[in-house]
Amino acid sequence: DGGITQSPKYLFRKEGQNVTLSCEQNLNHDAMYWYRQDPGQGLRLIYYSQIVNDFQKGDIAEGYSVSREKKESFPLTVTSAQKNPTAFYLCASSRKGSSTDTQYFGPGTRLTVL
């Protein structure tokens, strides 16, 4: 089945730790995205990538980093510089990077800071 997988489902981070969230897609989509969702809030864009080896900051990139070495993979690192990382993290992909393309979401990773 084609789709987007994210791992882990739940992640706990101690203060000062960097953690990496995995996102893999087998839809042959060019574009991939990372969003953050806080309770009662809409989705906010962290980073996006329209092509391998290229990515751009979204609205709330501070304290996060990404890489896009393969078309299928777009991992997100939450660094210790991110002061309030507890949130639901969603990875999405679309066929191209146009805003008219439908974005499909993975199941999400729920990150909690201890």
Nearer of residues 50 and 79 to other proteins, judged by Cβ: 50
Q: Which residues are at the interface with other proteins (CB under 8 A)?
A: 31, 40-45, 48, 50, 58, 90, 97-100, 102-108
Q: How far is the CB of 112 from other proteins (least distance, A)?
A: 14
Q: How far is the CB of 104 from other proteins (least distance, A)?
A: 7
For β-strands 54-57 and 64-66, DSSP reports them as unpaired
User: Diameter of the chain by CA atoms?
Assistant: 39
Q: Which residues contact 26 (CB under 8 A, 6 or more apart)?
A: 2, 3, 72
Q: Give dist(CA 43, CA 34) in Å, integer.
A: 9
Q: How far is the CB of 3 from other proteins (least distance, A)?
A: 11
Nearer of residues 19 and 90 to other proteins, judged by Cβ: 90
